């Protein structure tokens, strides 16, 4: 399929309420969805900016931030931009309102069947889906370490709440002698052709051995079993080449801009 076909499916199927299924609350402000997640997190997304000018874009940013500033429980807000959007003045308006850009990632999309292949694992390494609290806490701690964050209960608690809500998310890990060495989530998107693969993390000493590739294949097979045809992911420069080698295409970019109280 052509990049344009994937991108149209992305915009029409994913940039909807499907993107905020696990939200505590969603408020509409013009074309924007102002989302509140647990843990004091705000999130701004939209399908497009409705032909906004630089002036109206600036007004939207200021109004959206004002909404979150009025709630002292909100500690952090992410504005999710996409590289293919027509968004005049957005970068400048975000900076002017105290948002800071983080690292851009590639929006990757491709057929789930292309990823659902057999991959050899290093000796002693096995894959499984985890559902129990001790495994989830161990997985979360490993991901915190890989992403350079202090190991905390916060991420684990958020994942456990989602598991308890039974929203379809699946958690997959690779283990060696009881140690979780790689992990990632599969997130089927209801009423769409898509499943997302997120949170991929592998301990540094275990990289380059095909473990992340095998973990991705396991999640793709699970997606196919659920009737999902397309896989999507926002990928770092570490995971992007791996996904490209197995059939996913870079259809655009996404850059989060973050404001912190």
Burial class (CB in 10 A: 0-12, 13-18, 19+), 163: middle
CB 73 within 8 A of CB 224: no
Smallest Cα–Cα separation from 172: which of 147, 200, 204? Answer: 200
pLDDT at 1: 65
* % of the chain surpassing 90 pLDDT: 78
Residues 117-125, mean pLDDT to the nearest whole number:
94
Residues 110-119, mean pLDDT to the nearest whole number:
92
The CATH label, of 3.90.1690, 3.30.420, 3.40.630, 3.40.50, for the domain at 3-106 is: 3.40.630
In this structure, what token pair is assigned to residue 137? Answer: 């806490």
pLDDT at 241: 87
pLDDT at 139: 96
Residues 113-136, mean pLDDT to the nearest whole number:
94
Higher pLDDT, 236 or 130: 130
Q: Give domain 110-252's CATH superfamily.
A: Gcn5-related N-acetyltransferase (GNAT) (3.40.630.30)
Helix 153-165 and helix 133-146, axial crossing angle in degrees, nearest 10: 130
Q: What is the pTM of this model?
A: 0.87
Q: Per-residue pLDDT for 8 more than 90?
A: yes
Give the confidence band of 65 by pLDDT, cuts at 50, 70, 90: very high
C-alpha–C-alpha distance, residues 182 and 163, integer Å: 19
- Among 62-71, 165-174, 244-253, which range has the highest average pLDDT? 62-71
C-alpha–C-alpha distance, residues 240 and 108, integer Å: 8
3-class DSSP assignment, residue 142? helix
Q: Per-residue pLDDT for 25 more than 70?
A: yes
pLDDT in tens, 67-100: 999 999 999 999 999 999 999 999 999 999 999 9
Q: Largest Cα–Cα distance in the chain?
A: 59
C-alpha–C-alpha distance, residues 6 and 219, integer Å: 20
Neighbours of 222 (CB within 10 A): 19
Alpha helices (H) in the chain, listed in sequence order: 3-9, 54-69, 90-96, 112-115, 133-146, 153-165, 211-225, 240-245
pLDDT in tens, 30-40: 999 999 998 89
Higher pLDDT, 218 or 238: 218
* Phi, psi for 13 (deg, rounded to 5): -100, -35
Q: What is the DSSP letter of 209?
A: S
Neighbours of 135 (CB within 10 A): 17
pLDDT in tens, 185-224: 999 999 999 999 998 899 999 999 999 999 999 999 999 9
C-alpha–C-alpha distance, residues 135 and 69, integer Å: 37
Domains 3-106 and 110-252 share a fold: yes
pLDDT at 80: 96
Q: Where are the domains of the chain?
A: 3-106, 110-252
Q: Per-residue pLDDT for 233 more than 80?
A: yes
pLDDT at 76: 97
Q: Which of 89-93, 104-108, 159-163 has the lowest mean pLDDT?
A: 159-163
Q: Average pLDDT over the chain, rounded to whole? A: 93
C-alpha–C-alpha distance, residues 175 and 182, integer Å: 7
């Amino acid at each position: 399929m052509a990049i344009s076909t994937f991108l149209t499916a992305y915009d029409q199927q994913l940039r909807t309420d499907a993107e905020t299924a696990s939200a505590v609350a969603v408020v509409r402000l013009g074309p924007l969805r102002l989302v509140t997640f647990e843990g004091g997190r705000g999130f701004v997304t939209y399908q497009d900016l409705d032909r906004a000018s630089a002036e109206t874009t600036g007004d939207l940013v200021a109004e959206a931030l004002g909404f979150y500033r009025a709630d002292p429980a909100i500690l952090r807000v992410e504005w999710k931009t996409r590289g293919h959007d027509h968004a005049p003045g957005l970068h400048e308006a975000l900076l002017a309102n105290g948002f800071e850009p983080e690292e851009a990632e590639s929006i990757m999309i491709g057929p789930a069947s292309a990823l659902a292949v057999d991959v050899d694992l290093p000796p002693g390494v096995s894959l499984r889906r985890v559902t129990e609290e001790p495994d989830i806490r161990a997985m979360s701690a490993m991901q915190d370490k890989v992403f350079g964050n202090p190991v905390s209960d916060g991420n684990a608690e958020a994942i456990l709440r989602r598991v308890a809500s039974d929203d379809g998310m699946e958690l997959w890990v690779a283990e060696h002698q009881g140690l979780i060495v790689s992990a990632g989530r599969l997130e089927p998107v209801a009423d769409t052709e898509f499943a997302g693969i997120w949170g991929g993390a592998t301990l540094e000493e275990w990289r380059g051995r095909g473990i992340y590739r095998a973990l991705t294949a396991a999640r793709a097979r699970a997606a196919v079993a659920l009737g999902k045809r397309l896989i999507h992911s926002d990928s770092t420069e570490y995971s992007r080449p791996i996904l490209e080698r197995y059939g996913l295409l870079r259809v655009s970019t996404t850059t989060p801009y973050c404001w912190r109280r």
